[in-house]
Amino acid sequence: MVNGTVMAYRGSHKTQDTKRMIIQPEGSTSKETAAKLVGKKAIWSTPKGNKIEGIITKPHGGKGAVLVRFDEKGLPGQALGTKLEIA
Say how far apart CA 25 and CA 81 lie, in whole Å. Answer: 12
| Confidence (pLDDT) at 71 | 87
pLDDT value, residue 8: 95
What's the rounded Cα separation, in Å, for the pair 39 and 64? 15
Cβ(34)–Cβ(60) under 8 Å?
Answer: yes
User: Tens digit of pLDDT for each residue in 59-87?
Assistant: 999 999 999 999 888 899 999 999 999 99
User: Among residues of the chain, what percentage have pLDDT more than 90?
Assistant: 91
What region, left, alpha or beta, does residue 62 occupy, with left being phi > 0 and alpha being psi -120 to 50 degrees? alpha
Quick one: pLDDT at residue 1? 83
Q: Which amino acid is at 55?
A: I
What domain range is 79 assigned to?
2-86
In total, the chain counts a number of residues equal to 87
CATH number of domain containing 48: 2.40.10.190
> Domain count of the chain?
1
